[in-house]
Amino acid sequence: MSSKEVETQMFDDHCKSAREYLEFNWPDVMAIDDVDEGAAMPWIMDQFHRTFTEDRDFGERLLDVGTGPTIYQLISASRVLPHIVCSDIHQGALEEVRKWKNGDAGAFDWSSAMQHVSGLEGTGWEERQDQLRRAIKDTVFCDVHNENPLHPAVFRPFDTIISTYCLEGACFNKGRSTYKKAVKNVCSLLKPDGYIILLSYIGVTYYLKDGKKDPDNLRLDTDFVLKNLSEAGITVLEASEFKTPDREACSYSDVKSILYVVGKKYLKGDYLRLLSENNDHCV
């Protein structure tokens, strides 16, 4: 795709470009008073920080599925994973990531998110910014509806996968069977013993488009998301939710909560051994 095509490619039903999406949805990156999500962003960053400071072996290679034009979800991970591949169906979104990685003058400013994480870590934010830029090794096409979402590229399975708000976006109004297949496709990219971190909207029944409600028949709930991860070979290690504010009017959607999940792709024998060990500790 040419640079001109990238610039004119429609981002979604609401924004003409990835940059417009950033400016509309992220006027204040670390906002605590978002109409639909309240103080979700600091909570999300704290979840990522907690996950990647725990005593777990996340390996070296991370795939971010559905990166979009954002990098906030990768900040904590880049401290322990030196090789990150960003992926998305939208080339304009990946171009925004490349601009940020290269330090272009017109790149979107994620410094407040960097500073928040650095405050949690006790590190210098500019050094951590450089670390993340070095860690991002590639940006590739991704379509979660393909059996190999990264086709035509071929990668060996990844040590860790992150996916934030991608699956519900890709499966908007396509039904739950489509979501189920997309989850399995994504999990096929994860190696045995690898980790997956999923961030998802819960309870959305509509998005606003031109001031009108655009219904979504997917209507994710927590049990359904966790069940589909399990059926895709993932053992959920932890799941937590952030309840969004009660509100009479919505800005973007009627999202009820935000779900954060950490799971692991155990080999069958390892999983049975884990169950046995847990039962041994039961009274």
Q: Answer yes or no: are the C-beta atoms of 74 and 44 closer than 8 Å.
A: no
Q: What is the pTM of this model?
A: 0.91
Query: pLDDT tens digits for 210-246?
Result: 889 999 999 999 999 999 999 999 999 999 999 999 9
Residue 141 lies in a domain: yes
Is 4 contained in some domain?
A: no
* Mean pLDDT, all residues of the chain: 91
The span from the CA of 199 to the CA of 249, in Å, is 24
DSSP at 147: S
Q: What confidence score (pLDDT) does residue 28 get?
A: 92
Q: What is the pLDDT of residues 122-143, one digit of tens each?
A: 999 999 999 999 999 999 999 9
Give how many domains the chain has, as a whole number.
Answer: 1
What CATH number should be reported for the domain holding residue 257?
3.40.50.150
* CB neighbourhood size of 231 (10 A): 12
Query: What stretches of 35-110 show up as alpha helix (H) in DSSP?
Result: 40-51, 91-101
Banded model confidence at residue 270, pLDDT cuts 50, 70, 90: low
Task: Answer yes or no: is 17 within a domain.
Answer: no
Domain contains 235: yes
Helix (H) or strand (E) holding 194: strand 190-202
Domain assignment present for 68: yes
Q: What is the pLDDT of residue 15?
A: 80
Give the structural domain span for 233: 32-281
The 10s digit of each residue's pLDDT in 161-204 is 999 999 999 999 999 999 999 999 999 999 999 999 999 999 99
Which residue would you say has higher pLDDT here, 204 or 269?
A: 204
**pLDDT above 90 for 8:** no
- Asked, for residue 13, whether it belongs to a domain, the answer is no
Closest by CA position to 61, among listed 86, 94, 34, 92? 86
CA distance 211 to 14: 10
Is the model's pLDDT at 267 over the cut of 80? no
Q: Indicate whether 142 belongs to any domain.
A: yes
How many Cα atoms within 13 Å fall on the side-chain side of residue 219?
3
Residue 7 domain-assigned?
Answer: no
Q: How many percent of the chain have pLDDT more than 70? A: 90
